Amino acid sequence: MEEKGTSPVGAGRNRITNNESGVFVPRKVNALIVGAGFAGATLAERLASQLGWECVVAEKRGHIGGNSMDRYDAAGVLVHAYGPHYFRSNSDRVVEYLGQFTEWHPVEYKILSWTDGDYWPFPVNLNTFEKLVGRPSSSEEMVATLEKWRVPVESPKNSEECIVSQVGWELYEKFFKGYTLKQWKREPKDLDASVCGRIPIRTNRDDRYLSEKFQALPSPSYTRLFEKMLSHPRIEVLLSTDYRDVASDLVFDRLIYTGSLDEYFGYRFGPLPYRSLRFEPETLPIEYFQPAMQVNYPNDHDFTRIVEIKHATGQKCPVTTIVREYPDDYGQGKERYYPIPAPDTAEIFRKYKELADQEKHVSFVGRLANYRYYNMDQVVAMALGEFEKIKGAAV
Ligand code: FAD
Ligand code: UDP
């Protein structure tokens, strides 16, 4: 972007403001915010409520909430529109901040893995180990056995090393290899250790999918949480609006950008690779379809998981909706869901990041703009941190 307060790209097509004489006068606001997901909504809320800033939020989709959006489907079942979103956090600050806009429905997220024709306790824990050895066991025996199975690797550099160094080849192949190949279209050894490293390995009977101290869903919904965050009178939300279509109609002090960096910089170093997904929902005339909110399919079928979010939301209704998730290449008409954490993609991102660091009047916040596999709470923490920086510079 050339200078403070001018449009970053292109000419405005949907002029959003005009004066009485009919002569177009760009509207002055404090911030143009690109995207109404957790990053954009948090910054809009903070800037409007704490600094009195006039904020315009441009969201290219027809709804707020970004990938965290939920809604009632035609059968009346509350579904997570873009895959299951299990809120969890170790940050009191983030939980307290969001707690101003929502109640919480506590959930112990529990899932299963379907492999070798059976449901398996997952993530790997003592129950999984007992099923594997076919008899009751103990944490001590499991620790001693894993010690024999594991492949010693001093500091695991990729996802294959991350798992085999903890549990060895058999459990790696049973639960991780096939799922990861399907999800990322890459061998685990070509992905950062942090990808499979997200999944805990436990030698006790704790069978929760996640380990963070706070685990709960916003109640009644994510969408209501976003509505409250964005309800401040100084926030205007433009849905179905690419920011490039309105940026030249505005004069703004600051751009908050939560979209993808390659798009912002006109793809000058080539596209940043992403994985996409196809969601196939199915409503069934039964109360529940499967024994857990999520069943993973590491080695069977083209889908990676079937999610029945009703188990987690606690909604009571006589029908259910399940969603099968099919990994997909990212391309025209698809959504960017997952940045791909790997050395080659990090190299492309590094080039864009150098350019981003020179944009002094732009904040690049969130999962896409930082090309990081962030969870929701991490994005909120990042947005709160960015708010403090902006506030510090404003006083
Ligand atoms: P987003 O939610 O992607 O919001 C960015 C917004 O910017 C989008 O709405 C987009 O339409 C808009 N935008 C982009 N470009 C433009 C433009 N040019 N003009 C206007 N608008 C634009 N996190 C968890 O904590 N727990 C989970 O269980 C979990 N599960 C997930 C499952 C899936 C399938 C996926 C894909 C993600 C999951 N996440 C989960 C991650 C979570 O979705 C993200 O951390 C969070 O949504 C990031 O918020 P954000 O605001 O950075 O990005
Ligand atoms: N993973 C796996 N087997 C599983 C679950 C996860 O190999 O049964 C790996 C896979 O590479 C996946 C990563 O661990 O992409 C992170 O899993 P998570 O469930 O956190 O993925 P997300 O919900 O972010 O899609």
Q: Are 214 and 95 in contact (CB under 8 A)?
A: yes
Give me the mean pLDDT over the 115-131 stretch. Answer: 98
Statement: residue 179 has pLDDT above 60:
yes
Question: 199: which residues sit within 8 A by CB, 6+ positions away?
Answer: 123, 176
User: Could you identify the atom of ligand 2 that is nearest to the CA of residue 375?
Assistant: 24
SS3 149: helix
Q: From the CB of 352, is ligand 1 less than 6 Å away? A: no
Statement: residue 96 has pLDDT above 60:
yes
Sheet holding 103-106, edge to edge: 88-89, 214-219, 103-106
Question: Residue 395: what pLDDT?
Answer: 66
**Cβ neighbourhood burial of 258 (10 Å; 0-12, 13-18, 19+):** buried
Mutating to test ligand 2, I would choose from 161, 177, 180, 189 the residue with most ligand atoms within 8 A of its C-beta, which is 180
State what percent of residues in the chain have pLDDT above 70. 94
Give me the mean pLDDT over the 83-106 stretch. Answer: 98
Tracing tokens 């960015």 back to the chain, one arrives at: 386
Q: Are 385 and 42 in contact (CB under 8 A)?
A: no
Question: 83: which residues sit within 8 A by CB, 6+ positions away?
Answer: 67, 277, 279, 307, 323, 325, 337
Mutating to test ligand 2, I would choose from 124, 167, 183, 379 the residue with most ligand atoms within 8 A of its C-beta, which is 183
249 pLDDT band, cuts 50/70/90, is very high
Statement: residue 40 has pLDDT above 50:
yes
Question: Residue 9: what pLDDT?
Answer: 33
CA distances from 162 to 44, 93, 194, 373, 394 (A): 38, 30, 8, 17, 44
Mutating to test ligand 1, I would choose from 14, 82, 85, 372 the residue with most ligand atoms within 8 A of its C-beta, which is 85
Q: Are 304 and 296 in contact (CB under 8 A)?
A: yes
Question: Residue 7: what pLDDT?
Answer: 33
Q: From the CB of 260, is ligand 2 less than 6 Å away? A: no
20 pLDDT band, cuts 50/70/90, is low
Question: Residue 11: what pLDDT?
Answer: 34
Statement: residue 287 has pLDDT above 60:
yes
Q: From the CB of 264, is ligand 2 less than 6 Å away? A: no
Torsion of CA 74, 80, 83, 84, to 10 degrees: -130
Q: Which residues pair with 111 in a beta bridge?
A: 122, 294
Mutating to test ligand 1, I would choose from 67, 199, 209, 384 the residue with most ligand atoms within 8 A of its C-beta, which is 67
Mutating to test ligand 1, I would choose from 336, 376, 380 the residue with most ligand atoms within 8 A of its C-beta, which is 376
Residue type (1 letter), 125? N
Statement: residue 2 has pLDDT above 90:
no
Q: From the CB of 353, is ligand 2 less than 6 Å away? A: no
Encoding tokens for residue 255? 């751009």
76 C-alpha to center of ligand 1: Å?
24
Q: From the CB of 176, is ligand 2 less than 6 Å away? A: yes
What are 186-233's pLDDT values in tens digits? 999 999 999 999 999 999 999 999 999 999 999 999 999 999 999 999
334 C-alpha to center of ligand 2: Å?
21
Encoding tokens for residue 160? 């294959």
Torsion of CA 361, 367, 368, 371, to 10 degrees: 100
Q: From the CB of 196, is ligand 2 less than 6 Å away? A: yes
Q: From the CB of 162, is ligand 2 less than 6 Å away? A: no
SS3 298: coil
Question: Residue 6: what pLDDT?
Answer: 31
* CA nearest neighbour of 207 among 108, 286, 134, 291: 108
What are 256-280's pLDDT values in tens digits? 999 999 999 999 999 999 999 999 9
CATH topology (fold) of 27-64+230-273+340-394:
Rossmann fold (3.40.50)
Residue type (1 letter), 377? D
12 C-alpha to center of ligand 2: Å?
41
Statement: residue 10 has pLDDT above 70:
no
48 C-alpha to center of ligand 1: Å?
22
Helix or strand (DSSP H, E) at 376? helix 376-394
Q: From the CB of 38, is ligand 2 less than 6 Å away? A: no
Give me the mean pLDDT over the 355-367 stretch. Answer: 97
Give me the mean pLDDT over the 60-83 stretch. Answer: 98
39 C-alpha to center of ligand 1: Å?
8
Q: Are 65 and 230 in contact (CB under 8 A)?
A: no
Statement: residue 291 has pLDDT above 90:
yes
Q: What is the pTM of this model?
A: 0.95
Give me the mean pLDDT over the 7-30 stretch. Answer: 61
- Alpha carbons 182 and 271: distance in angstroms, whole number: 22
Encoding tokens for residue 371? 């090309």
Statement: residue 3 has pLDDT above 50:
no
Question: Residue 14: what pLDDT?
Answer: 44
> Which residue's CA lies nearest to atom 23 of ligand 2?
84
Q: From the CB of 26, is ligand 1 less than 6 Å away? A: no
Q: From the CB of 58, is ligand 1 less than 6 Å away? A: yes
Question: Residue 176: what pLDDT?
Answer: 98
Q: Mean of the per-residue pLDDT values for the chain?
A: 94
Statement: residue 333 has pLDDT above 50:
yes
* CA nearest neighbour of 243 among 1, 13, 39, 5: 13
Map out the domains of the chain as residue ranges.
Answer: 27-64+230-273+340-394, 111-197
Give me the mean pLDDT over the 329-352 stretch. Answer: 96
Q: Which long-range contacts (CB under 8 A, 24 or more apart) does 172-181 make?
A: 174/115, 174/116, 174/120, 174/298, 174/299, 175/113, 175/115, 175/120, 175/122, 175/124, 175/296, 175/298, 176/298, 177/298, 178/298, 178/299, 179/296, 179/297, 179/298, 179/299, 179/304
335 C-alpha to center of ligand 2: Å?
19
Question: Residue 13: what pLDDT?
Answer: 41
